[in-house]
Amino acid sequence: MENIIHLKSVVDSILFSFIGICILVVSFVIIEKITPENIYKQVVDKNNMAIAIIFAAFIIAIAIIISSAIHG
């Protein structure tokens, strides 16, 4: 019985991780579509460090919101 409880916790953790990553990717794609410039092109090709920092902060903020929502 003890193993079933731990297995359920592992399955829940994997499921919530997958859902959180999907929400993070979807939110990033939405922001990518809203912004006028291609983020990848700006960061990689033009070495725009300001946009890289802003989108890193965006990803961290969305990840914190998702983890808070999952945690309860």
Rounded Cα gap, residues 35 and 43, in angstroms: 14
* 32-62 burial code (b ≥16 CB/10 A, e <16): eeeeeeebeebbeeeeeeebeeebeeeeeeb
Q: Is the pLDDT of residue 1 over 80?
A: no
Give the range of the structural domain holding residue 42, as residue numbers without chain letter: 2-71
Asked if pLDDT for residue 66 goes beyond 80, the answer is yes
pLDDT digits (tens, 9 = 90+) for 2-55: 666 678 888 888 898 899 899 999 998 998 899 888 888 889 999 999 999 999
How many domains are contained in the chain? Answer: 1
Can you give the pTM of this predicted structure? 0.75
